[in-house]
Amino acid sequence: MKHKYDLILFDLDGTVFDTAKTILDSLAATIKMAGLRELTEDEISTFIGPPVVKSFARYYPELTTDEINGLLELYRKYYIDNELLKAKPFPGMEEVIITLKENGYKIALATYKLMRCVTPLFEHYDMAKYFDSLRGSIKESGLTKTDIMKLAIEDCNISDYSRVCMIGDTEHDIRGAINLDIAFIAVTYGAGMKGLTDDEKKYEKFVGFVDSPKGILDLV
């Protein structure tokens, strides 16, 4: 395999792991426990990708900051206690990661997901051993997706950002790639990106779309 890149950065939710149902089920349970207005299927689906606290604030503007933070903690507890380990890697994803490692690529994770969720999930599936860096959010850190991606790149001692490719499924992933001036591959499986904005279409380092994990190997 000819190398276009030295480091492949992966998002987690909707890219490496199929977590949509576990997240949405946890959100629905949290909203019900809190006695809040139930959201439509379309509304609740928008929680996939961005920080959950921002989505809560968007749909429940009547809540105070303290109330939203309390709702977030309720969600996190329910998710970790009941849903976290129900998520599974997308079919073929582990084989793709193994192939990349066997061909000399460095592999890293950059996700908004809290590290206290990332670590047990990757340990449960024995996948941490393939990654040179696992980077997620830390409670109250205020890290952006760009910040998290940059930390993962630094962990891997990569100085030439032209040799880095981010793989993800949300606008936050491609925006992070644009901010760091690195290549980006969009995945359309799972929740998936269905298209790009006009500005994103102009990004010269956008590599393309893949509709399965195995398609990644054709683009890197």
Would you place residue 50 in the very low, low, confident or very high pLDDT band (cuts 50, 70, 90)?
A: confident
Architecture of the CATH domain 7-18+88-219: 3-Layer(aba) Sandwich (3.40)
pTM greater than 0.85 (yes/no) = yes
Residue 167 phi/psi, 5° resolution?
-120, 120
Beta-strand pair 17-18/88-89: antiparallel
Query: Domain segments of the chain: what residues?
Result: 7-18+88-219, 20-85
For the stretch 60-99, pLDDT in tens is 999 999 999 999 999 999 999 999 999 999 999 999 999 9
Q: How many residues does the chain have?
A: 220
Domains 7-18+88-219 and 20-85 share a fold: no
Q: What is the mean pLDDT of the chain?
A: 93
Domain spanning 20-85 has what CATH number?
Answer: 1.10.150.240
3 state SS of 136: strand
Q: Which of 29-43, 59-73, 128-142, 188-202 has the lowest mean pLDDT?
A: 188-202
